[in-house]
A = this chain, B = another copy of it.
Amino acid sequence: MVLLRFQSTCCGPGARRYPRAVPSRDALIDLLAGLAYAELSAFDRLTEDARLAPTLAGRVEMSAMAAIEMAHHQQLAARLQSMGVAPDVAMEPFVAALDTYHSLTAPSTWLESVVKAYVGDGMAADFYREVAAFVDEPTRELIHTVLADSGRAEFAVREVQAAVAAQPGVADRLALWARRLVGEAISQTQHVLADRDALMMLMIEGTGGLAGVGELINRVTSRHEERMKALGLDS
């Protein structure tokens, strides 16, 4: 039974209804390793998508974003190593889900790749930040550092608004594309959580139970809607 992996920190009469648990080492490793592979694959895909850029300047801009993801990957891998964990072994359980997400959402145009880099990666980042709230301070800080936006919002807003201004029909197609990104991201996240008991329990225990998970999802969804609004797209 997966619950046994957690050590409850409190159980006295004053305890909360859903007692907060100390995350297991397995959960911490999964969180860091899942994010490390997410950064590595984002690096990979942003580099590939950069080739769709209509200008050399746009290609450079997206390639630079990719290089930042690689630096983030390296920070996470170093943390895993300092915990005595081989990063490649720890990342392995996350390869299939993330590769599937990327292969099902391979952009066919520059604007699709821009929306993916902002909306898709933004939603994933929100999810990781939510889960990071349940872990120790140094790990949380590292996760917030590697998830820093690095100017991606302004970049996406600029590119999408210019395209929509030139050709209004683009907005509907991009809104549909964003919905597909969200659908695939949710589906792959569910696959991962179904396989990784420790991560799933970290989320359930951290949020204080299933109702808390629902609130977490609402927060992530509402930030997603803000991003869509910033782009001028219907969510």
Give chain A's interface residues, CB within 8 Å of chain B: 40, 43-44, 47-48, 50-51, 55-57, 59-60, 63-64, 66-67, 70-71, 73-74, 77, 87-88, 91-92, 95
Q: How far is the CA of A73 from the CA of B66 in the complex (A)?
A: 13
The contact of A74 among B59, B64, B73, by CB within 8 Å, is B64
Please state if B56 and A92 are interface contacts (CB–CB under 8 Å).
yes
How distant is A47 from chain B, measured CB to nearest CB, in Å?
4
Inter-subunit contact B87/A60 (CB<8 Å): yes
Question: Can you report 16 residue pairs joining A to B where beta carbons are below 8 Å apart?
Answer: A40-B60, A40-B63, A43-B67, A44-B47, A44-B50, A44-B63, A47-B47, A47-B66, A55-B88, A56-B88, A56-B91, A60-B77, A60-B87, A63-B70, A64-B74, A66-B70
Give Cα distance in the complex from A67 to B44, angstroms: 10
| Chain B residues within 8 Å of A71, by CB | 67
Distance between Cα atoms of A48 and B48 in the complex (Å): 7
Determine whether the beta carbon of A64 is less than 8 Å from that of B60.
no
Contact A70-B77, Cβ < 8 Å, known A43-B47, A44-B50, A88-B55: no
A117 to chain B, nearest CB (A): 15
Bound: A59/B55 CA distance, A: 28
Bound-state CA distance A141–B91 (Å) is 39
Q: Which residue of B lies closest to A57 (CB)?
A: B88
Q: Which residues of B contact A63 (CB under 8 A)?
A: 40, 43-44, 70, 73
Contact of A73 among B40, B60, B95 (CB under 8 A): B60
Identity of the chain B residue whose Cβ is nearest the Cβ of A37 in the assembled complex: B56
Q: How far is the CB of A43 from chain B (nearest CB, A)?
A: 6
| Chain B residues within an 8 Å CB radius of A44 | 47, 50-51, 63
On chain B, the residues within 8 Å of A92 by CB distance are 56
Q: Can you add 18 more A-B contacts, CB < 8 Å, to A43-B47, A60-B87, A66-B67? A: A40-B59, A40-B60, A43-B67, A44-B47, A44-B50, A44-B51, A47-B47, A47-B48, A56-B91, A56-B92, A56-B95, A63-B70, A63-B73, A64-B70, A64-B74, A66-B70, A67-B67, A67-B71
